Amino acid sequence: MGTPRRRILRSRWTSGPAIPLDGPVLVAFTDFTARGHGQALAVALAGMRLRRTWPTTPGAVGMWLWADPGRRRSGSVSVWADERGLKEFTGRPDHVRIVRAHRGRGELRSARREFEEFDPDAVW
């Protein structure tokens, strides 16, 4: 038997209040690898709770959540109108609580990239 295929799950696109115009957008990518499956589930559920606030998150164009359950990984791809919106979101009390609750229980990687315009296929 061959190696099992990796299965990445992706949520539907969740729009934020910022409308992407014909200009650049900032894309933030997060990738959390949990030490155990229980921790992976807890992080994914926390992400889904934050996702409910997306339609009213200032500066947010939209986002996807993703998960690779077999590897205990999950994260997000979020699109922002500007740096200010991203900074305000990461400083929000609900976001800070989640980050602190899971600190030391896995490995978090993140990256940012600016795109000249918003193209969902290119961003994903």
CB 47 within 8 A of CB 117: no
Angle at which helices 37-51 and 93-102 cross, to 10° = 180
DSSP character string of 61-114: EEEEEEEEGGGTEEEEEEEESSHHHHHHHHTSHHHHHHHHHHTTSEEEEEEEEE
* 87 pLDDT above the threshold of 70: yes
| Residues in contact with 110: Cβ distance below 8 Å, sequence separation at least 6, in sequence order | 28, 29, 30, 31
* 4 pLDDT above the threshold of 60: no
Which tokens sit at 51? 């996702």
pTM above 0.85, yes or no: yes
Predicted confidence at residue 2, as pLDDT, reads: 56
